[in-house]
Structure 1
Amino acid sequence: MKITIITVGKLKEKYLKDAIAEYSKRLSKYCKLEILEVADEKTPDAASENVERQIRQKEGERILRYVKEDSYVLTLEIGGKMLDSVEFAEKIEKLGVQGKSHLTFIIGGSIGLGEEVRKRSDYALSFSKMTFPHQLMRVILLEQIYRGYRIIEGAPYHK
């Protein structure tokens, strides 16, 4: 299976880069992983809803350039469906059985995802009702994908 993670903004912190490198290495046993970063837009302080919508639209256009037609798209959204780790593993496994050989996870920028990206999504996924920094969310997502593959394999990692 191929997994693509499309994310807004560049990572700057070494500890996050190190964690992503570690999980990328671990995942290489289970899937072909690709992480794509698109440029973020600067959001002015006290931006109006209209300005924020325009920013989400611009970031969304950049994201959608990388979404392949045959890919199953999972967007990370606070309002998405919450799954526990076992349910998440089952979701990945079920998609594979259904012939979905390319999964694309999308992590939006600091003010969320544009409407066009949300329309392209096949599944809105939430990790929590809490808000996490989108850079940290990359690590959390990679760890959960790895955990999911370990659960599918029946390995003890997830306990």
Structure 2
Amino acid sequence: MRVHLCAVGRLRAGPERALIDDYLTRFDRTGRGLGLGPAQIHEVEDKKGGGMAAEAALLDRAIPDGALVCTLDERGKLMSSPDFAALLAKWRDAGRGDVAFVIGGADGIDPGLRARADASLSFGKMVWPHMLARVMLTEQLYRAASILAGSPYHRV
């Protein structure tokens, strides 16, 4: 199952980029034998300042046709890392070819795009900068693959 991170904003070189690249490399390496990956980042940028609706249109175009859509949103479902791993495995085992994790901009995700999502996850009740949300998502993807592979990376 291919994994797509569809996010508003361009990530420049720096510590966040280094972490994301590292976790995605680990995820691709660990997930390959599990039918997970590769992972790709699709960045969109609303240069005209159209707000959430314009960002939603750009995000919608970045989501592959037929992909399961999962938004990252403070109103989403809270889950443990093992539960997230089980969810990824469930989607993979159901024959989903693509999953798109959607990360909005500073104002969040347009309600219309949120409404059409198949799932929504939360990293807690706090709001996180979208660049840190990317780091946290890529780490959790790697952790999920490690859990499914039986690796000792995740400690209970």
Residue 100 of structure 2 corresponds to which residue in structure 1? 104
Structure 1 stretches of 4+ with a deviation exceeding 2 A read: 40-43
User: Which of 116, 122, 126 is the matching residue for 2:118?
Assistant: 122
Number of paired residues? 149
Distance in 1, Cα, partners of 2:48 & 2:78: 30
Give matches, 1:9-158, under 5 Å. 9-12=9-12, 14-29=14-29, 30=31, 31-40=37-46, 55-158=51-154
Structure 1 residue 21: Cα displacement: 1.1
SS class of match (1:158): coil
Q: Which runs of 5+ in 2 are unaligned?
A: 32-36
Q: Which runs of 5+ in 1 are unaligned?
A: 44-53
| 8 Å contact from structure 1 (residues 41, 55) kept in 2 | no
Structure 1 residue 42: Cα displacement: 7.8
- Give the counterpart letter for 2:22 in structure 1: E
Give the TM-score taking structure 2 as reference length: 0.90
Give the TM-score taking structure 1 as reference length: 0.89
Aligned-pair identity in percent equals 35
Distance in 1, Cα, partners of 2:74 & 2:19: 23
Of structures 1 and 2, the larger Rg is shown by 1
Structure 1 residue 28: Cα displacement: 1.7
Structure 1 residue 24: Cα displacement: 1.5
SS class of match (1:157): coil
Indicate the RMSD between aligned Cα atoms, in angstroms: 1.4
Distance in 2, Cα, partners of 1:122 & 1:77: 13
